[in-house]
Structure 1
Amino acid sequence: MMRIVTAGYSRHTRSYYSNQAHGLKYFLVRLQTEGFCQALVNGTLYTIRPGDLLLCKPGDSYELMVQLGSNEPPSGDYFLSVELNEWMLEWWEDYKQEVKLNVGVDEMLISIWRHLVYEKRRVKDSNPDIMDYLCRSILLHMNRLISGGVSSNPYERSVSNQIKMFIEKNATEPITLRDVSTAVGLSVSRASQLFKEAFNQSVMDYAIEVRLSIAKERILIGGSTLQEVSFLCGFANYTHFNRSFRLRYGMSPSEYRRQVRPQ
C-alpha cells in the first residue's frame, strides 16, 4: 500500500524558501499550477513554470525558492510525498533520469489531486485505501499525460490533451469542431491541426471512436433498443451509427448484440 506522507496545495503570495539540502526522506512529486519558482535539486537550478512537474527521490538534495516582487503573480502548486515502496519504485523507474517534466495544467489530474488532499485532511475517518488508489491514479494519469501525443512542445501537447479530454467528456452530446476549438481558445483549423499531429486522427474521428466504445458498453448491458443506443451515444441517426459501427468493428450493431448477448 502507498503511504502518503504529505499531500496538499500551496499558494505563495510572498517570497518563500524551503531547505531540504540534507536530502529528502521521501519521493516528492510537485506540480506548478500558477506563477513560477525555482528549485535547486542536487546542485542544478531549475526554473519551474505552470504545467511543470518536479520529481525528486529519497536522498535528493532539494531547495525551493519562491521570489516574488511587488507586481509578480502568486506561485501555486500541488505536492505529494510518498514513502519508499515497491510500486513507487517501479513507477519511478521510467523517470529516474528526469527531474523536471511538463505535463500541462490538466483539469483531471488536478481534480484527482484535490480529492487526495481532501481525504488526507480527514482527521477522524480518513481511509488509507482511498488515499492509496487516489495516489496511484495521480501517478498513472501522469504517465498518460507524459506519453500522450508526439509533440515535443509542451504547449502543443497540453492543448492536444485538453481537446482529447473535452471530447471524452462531451462525446455523447452533438459537439462540433467549433465547440472543441472554443473550449481550448483556438481557431478550428489550429485546434484540428494540433490534435491530428498529436494523435494521428481527426477530432471528429476520435469523437466517433469514443461514441462507439460507449455504444458497445450499452449494448453489452442491454435494456435499450439499438436505435436508443444510437441516440444516447450522440449519433445523429441510426444509419450513421450502423455504418460507423460496421466500419470500426467489422460487424453491425445487431450482429455484435447477438454475439455478446446470445438468446
Structure 2
Amino acid sequence: MSFDDLINRIPANIHARTKSFISGDIAVFKPEKYVIESKIRMNDYHFIIFHSTPPIARVGGRELQFKKGSLVSLEPGTEITVYPHEKNQLCQYISISVKKNFAERIALEAFGRDKIKFDKLENAYSRQLIESINNFEFELTNFGNKYPIMLQSIATQIAFLLLRDTFAGSQGYSEMSITNDDDYVAKAIDYMKKYYSCSITIDGICRAIYLSPSYFSRMFKNKTGMTPYKFLLELRLAKAKELLSESGFSIEEASRLCGFANSAHLSTAFKGNEGLSPSEYRKQFQNIHTHDMKNQHR
C-alpha cells in the first residue's frame, strides 16, 4: 500500500474506526475522530474537506480556525497539529492524500504549471469534487481493484478537481460549493433520484451529504414542505406507477426495482397513499387505456 507512511502515523484506535479508500495515487479517509496534539508532517499533497467546524489547528507555525464547508489545501512538508476540542464537538470531515508526482503531473498537463504553489490554505470546494469522491468510494467498495482503468480515471478527476478548486480560490473565484441549505436539499434530492431503487435510508442520505439526521429532516421539510421520508416514498411510488402501467413487469419486480423490500411493502405503501392496491391500480390503468384506444378508433 503506497500510503503506509501516513497510515502508520495515525493512532491505531482512530484508524480502526476510519473508512479508508485507497488506490495507487490517492487515499481518501473518513475518520470519526481527530488526531489530537500529534504533529503530522505531510509528505504528499493533502486536502481536508470540513463538513463541521473543526478544532483550532496549528499549521506551519500559525494557529488557525478553519470553517465548516471549506477545503483546506496543504503542500508537501506542511506540519499540522490539531488542538484539543470539546468532548461532544462534531467530527465530520474527509481527508485526501494525493501522491506528489501524480498531483504535479496533473498540474502540468491540465494547468501548465510545472510547480504547485497554493496561495491560500482555505478554499471553497465544488459539487463535482464531492460527487467524484463518492464515485471513488463506490468503485472501491463494489469492485475493489478489478477495473484499474476506472479507478485511475476517477483518481485523475479527483486530483484535477482538488487542484482546480484550490487554484480558483487563489484567483478570487470558486464554483458553487455546498454551503447553504438549498445546496444540501438539492444534493439530497439528486441522491434519492439516483439511488431510489436501492435500500437507502434517511441516515444513509445524511451520511452522503454530511448532515445530522435531525437537522437535515427539519431543513428538508422547511424547504420542500414534506419530510425526507415522505419525499423518498412518493418518488418510489411514482416510479412504481410507471412500471405498473407497463404489462412487462410483475408487481414483485416493480417492488424490487423501486426500492421496496417486497410486494407486501409496496402494497401497504400504495394503499396508504393511493387508496388502491398495486393490482387494482394496474387494472384501473388498463381499463382507462383500453377505453381511450376504443375512442380513438371510433
Q: What is the TM-score with the length of structure 1 in the denominator?
A: 0.42
Quick check: which has more Rg, 1 or 2? 2
Structure with the bigger RCO (C-alpha within 8 Å, sep 6+) is: 1
TM-score for both structures, normalised by structure 2: 0.37
Q: Higher strand share goes to which structure?
A: 1
